[in-house]
Structure 1
Amino acid sequence: MRSTQQFSVTLPNEMADEVRAKVASGVYASESEVIRDGLRALKARDRAIEGWLNGIALPAYDAYRVDPSRGIAIDDIRNELADRHGQIADRD
């Protein structure tokens, strides 16, 4: 039994050019390797997001539901972000 399956994939011209460029540069031996590596990266990103959701976001939400006084008002968040943005803009 085969351990691989063949697919036909249609890509926008820009993406197809990127795949060909990766192969032409020698970074990858074939277009299939480029696609496989992209799918591995996608799986890694999905695992990272799932880990963040389960390890940080959901526990924080659960803690907030138990004690809403621990939350931060949206206006305070906006002001903090505006201050940080201003500091970064001042550096540039």
Structure 2
Amino acid sequence: MSMHRKTITLTEQQDDWVKGQIENGHFGNDSEYIRDLIRRDQQAKERLATLRQALAAGESSGKSKPLDISAIKSAGRKRVKASN
């Protein structure tokens, strides 16, 4: 994977935060920290997209039915008994 050099500008508070993360041993340098932030942001966006797809699928799956709480509890109890 090729690397590209970027120049970023941080406030003093942000720079102190990044330096603290490095000093505490969480990251080896500024670049590692920034790359970790980007990876986390990418993962969060992917999770959000997956959730939106699931919501859309649920909405398009048809009319919902009323929940039968008693049946749900009964099924849960049966599963617990079966796993013991």
Same fold by TM-score, threshold 0.5 exceeded?
Answer: yes
1-structure distance, mates of 2:56, 2:14 = 36
Structure having the higher helix fraction is 1
In structure 1, runs of 5+ residues without a counterpart are 71-92
Q: Show structure 1 runs of 4+ deviating over 6 A.
A: none
Mapping 1:1-92, distance limit 5 Å: 3-54=2-53, 56-63=54-61, 66-67=62-63, 70=64
Q: TM-score, normalised by structure 1?
A: 0.61
CA RMSD between the two structures:
2.2
Q: TM-score, normalised by structure 2?
A: 0.66
Change (3 A) 1:19 1:62: same
In structure 2, runs of 5+ residues without a counterpart are 65-84
Q: Which has the larger radius of gyration?
A: 2
Residue 10 of structure 2 aligns with an amino acid whose one-letter code is L
State the percentage of identical aligned residues: 19
